[in-house]
Amino acid sequence: MLEAETNWPNLCEFLGCHFHEDWRVNGATPELALETAVADWDLDSCQAVLREWRDWNDRRGWQTDVAASVQDGFGVALDFASEAEARQFMNLVYEKLIVSVRAETGHQWSPE
């Protein structure tokens, strides 16, 4: 978790705060919990998370098994049935954030 906290502190906080072991308390699905998380963060914070997601993806997202990086690195308490499911979750994080940011800034905004 130290690498995540050091290199991607906003992404680490975003995921860790909203997907820790109690995220299911209200019977939420990962997608609903993610939508709530995005709505709870302001525009600048969402943009910072997207920039860090892009950096994480460039540096670690290419790895065969991102589940360990997501669960251990970011403290996400989701039980992924497969590597593909872990990748789909991280892609969903990006998609929900980018849609929200672009709704506020215009369709041209990019985390680069």
pLDDT in tens, 52-84: 999 999 988 777 678 888 888 898 888 889 888
Within-domain flag for 13: yes
User: Mean pLDDT, consecutive 10-residue segments, the chain of 112 residues?
Assistant: 86 87 68 87 95 92 80 87 91 94 86 76
- How big is the chain, counted in residues? 112
> In degrees to the nearest 10, what's the CA dihedral of 80, 47, 102, 61?
-40
Within-domain flag for 31: yes
Count of structural domains within the chain: 1
Task: State the Cα–Cα distance between residues 88 and 51, nearest whole angstrom.
Answer: 18
Distant-in-sequence, close-in-space partners of 12: CB < 8 Å, separation ≥ 6: 1, 4, 5, 73, 74, 75
Q: Which of the 8 DSSP states describes residue 8?
A: -
Within-domain flag for 87: yes
Within-domain flag for 112: no
Q: Are 37 and 97 in contact (CB under 8 A)?
A: no
This prediction has a pTM of 0.88
Task: State the Cα–Cα distance between residues 23 and 40, nearest whole angstrom.
Answer: 14
